[in-house]
Amino acid sequence: NRIVGGKGRLEDLDQLLDIGNYLVGTTICALADGAQMAFLSYLKKFRSEFEEFIRNSPTRVPKICETLVVASL
């Protein structure tokens, strides 16, 4: 929520990676592994885009969120 809300920090990405790596294989639910693996893949392959979003989010978040709302209707 903090990243999407425009208040994300670059350190948040490292923290998310740490948590995601810790959770894979440590839960009883196989769906958790699948969700974490997809998320970890996105973050590893598109890290520069996540970083750009965090750096520019105060100006971009309202536009991006408005687009998402319109697209979901």
Predicted confidence at residue 35, as pLDDT, reads: 82
Predicted confidence at residue 72, as pLDDT, reads: 47
Q: What is the pLDDT of residues 23-72, one digit of tens each?
A: 878 878 878 788 888 888 989 899 998 898 888 876 665 565 665 555 54
Long-range contacts of 17-22 (CB under 8 A, 24+ apart): 17/43, 17/44
Q: What is the pLDDT of residues 1-34, one digit of tens each?
A: 788 778 889 999 999 899 888 887 887 887 878 8
- CA dist 34 and 53 (Å) reads 25
Predicted confidence at residue 37, as pLDDT, reads: 85
Q: How many CB atoms lie within 10 A of CB 23?
A: 16
